[in-house]
Amino acid sequence: MITLEELKWLSPQIIIAATAILVMLGIAVKRNHLFSSLLTLAGLIASFICLLNAEPGQHLASNIFIIDGFGNYLTGLIICASFVITLFAYPYMQVQKTIKEEFYVLLLLATLGADCMVISNHFITFVLSLEVLSVSLFGFIGYLKNEKFSIEAGIKYLIMAAVGSSFILFGFALIYMATGAMDLQALNKALNGGDLSPLVLTGLALSIVGFGFKMALVPFHLWTPDIYAGAPAPSSAFVATVSKGAAFAFLLRLFYSIGGLSHDSIWIAFAVIATASMFIGNWLALQQKNIKRMLAYSSISHLGYLMIGFLAFSIPGMRSAAFYLTIYFVSMLAAFGLIIYLSGRKGEPLMIEDYRGLFWTKPWLAAFFSVTMLSLAGVPFTAGFMGKFYLLASGMNSGGIFLLVVLVVSSTIGLFYYLRVVSVMLSRNSAEVPEHVGANSWVLKLLVGALFILLLWFGMYPSVFLQMLSGF
């Protein structure tokens, strides 16, 4: 029986669900792009305010949701990311020749799914929220129905996500069969601190495959580049940030609460996946000429870095992972923000060549984009450096030196392609910059400026943000 107090704990999620319905009803009454997007923003803000007023401490809502510092932090992060993506989406959708309002319904539903994933405490709630997220993403990715690549990406994601979900489901079923438990506390008790039977191990292994799909870790990454490149840029940004972050959150919850990482074979499996993601992600990104594909591979490597925080299997590790996730969100949103800024009626500037000489035609935008690239590369003065630094520190703390060396070496490979974008922007003969949505949207200009400041702020004085992580 759910109590009123539990409803209060879940109010951020409830508000988002209600907003989704309101936006849908609004569309039924009268189609208005501006109204839909403003309503979405209002819902996200209200949900965020509820979150800020959340009581500290750890609460269980009927054993199916867990409300704690970690969950609240990630919920907040996801809401902020959705807020930014909504703002990005408005000028972007404005120039598309298609109906626009449903985009926000899908966005809200996907956000709802992600927000529920990070506070899930039970297999059922997790799988349900995962499906809410995935089903909205099918539409979200294939939204531009006049573009055949967008449709293709949507269908690809549909199949891949279905495969991933079924692996997770099957894995969970096996675990349930072995232990008879579905919520994390009962599971922890049933497993008695890490004595894993072959059946449980198989179940965990299958679920790792599913999580690997969702987070696009090597060798389950093959869908990523096509979907990033084919989907409309705001959707790509969402897939790159929110959906991966939410899957990561439950992965962390699951393996931390059942103590699975102290089991050597699981630790090694994750270490291999992390190493492969770092190397292969960076290596394939080197070969790309399309900037969205490059970002896709780069995000694979970033999730690999993130696994170092996960593998540290400690509170600092968890904090460093959450911190890195935040920085990854900001950097990725900034990168996609620029693509959206420069896209217009004729489409998005997809090729790296499209940015040739941007430093001489639009110096500020190019400076901003350079900082974003440097942040993704992890150069000091930018957010990425602090994130990697914290990851290295937490990894060093738990003695996984090998992974740290992999991080160092592979991020050096990564420097190549990030800097190549910068050096293309610096080359002396400039490409024409066609008409683009950013030119007459002050919202986009402000947002791009805000992300720029955030990237530098994180990079130079991260104390304020680190303070927020002390709650878990």
Residues in contact with another protein by CB under 8 A are 312-317, 319-320, 359-360, 363, 374, 379-381, 385, 389-390, 392-394, 396-399, 404-405, 408-409, 411-412, 415-416, 419, 423, 426, 428, 461-463, 466-467, 470
Q: Which is nearer to another protein, 294 or 422 (by Cβ)?
A: 422
Rounded Cα distance, 377 and 91, in Å: 29
Query: Any residues with CB less than 8 A from the CB of 217 and at least 6 apart, and which?
Result: 211, 273, 274, 276, 277, 300, 303, 304, 307
Q: To the nearest whole angstrom, how small is the minimum distance from the Cβ of residue 269 to another protein? A: 20
Rounded Cα distance, 349 and 353, in Å: 9
Q: Which is nearer to another protein, 241 or 410 (by Cβ)?
A: 410
Write the single-letter amino acid at 37: S
Q: To the nearest whole angstrom, how small is the minimum distance from the Cβ of residue 73 to another protein? A: 15
Q: To the nearest whole angstrom, how small is the minimum distance from the Cβ of residue 429 to another protein? A: 12
Helix, strand or coil, per DSSP, at residue 220: coil
> Are 10 and 38 in contact, with CB atoms under 8 Å apart?
no
Q: To the nearest whole angstrom, how small is the minimum distance from the Cβ of residue 171 to another protein? A: 27
Q: Which is nearer to another protein, 135 or 466 (by Cβ)?
A: 466
Q: To the nearest whole angstrom, how small is the minimum distance from the Cβ of residue 260 to another protein? A: 15
CB 257: neighbour CB atoms within 10 A? 16
Q: Which is nearer to another protein, 254 or 374 (by Cβ)?
A: 374
Q: To the nearest whole angstrom, how small is the minimum distance from the Cβ of residue 84 to another protein? A: 26
Rounded Cα distance, 312 and 321, in Å: 9
Query: Strand 59-61 to strand 65-67: parallel, antiparallel, or no bridges (unpaired)?
Result: antiparallel
Q: Which is nearer to another protein, 176 or 279 (by Cβ)?
A: 279
Alpha-carbon torsion, ordered 270, 274, 280, 281, to 10 deg: 130
Rounded Cα distance, 20 and 383, in Å: 33
Q: Which is nearer to another protein, 256 or 297 (by Cβ)?
A: 256
Query: Any residues with CB less than 8 A from the CB of 38 and at least 6 apart, and which?
Result: none
Q: To the nearest whole angstrom, how small is the minimum distance from the Cβ of residue 392 to another protein? A: 6
> Are 53 and 67 in contact, with CB atoms under 8 Å apart?
no
Q: Which is nearer to another protein, 394 or 441 (by Cβ)?
A: 394
Q: Which is nearer to another protein, 4 or 464 (by Cβ)?
A: 464
The sign of the torsion formed by the CA atoms of 335, 309, 254, 198 equals positive
Q: To the nearest whole angstrom, how small is the minimum distance from the Cβ of residue 427 to another protein? A: 9
E strand spans, 211-366: none
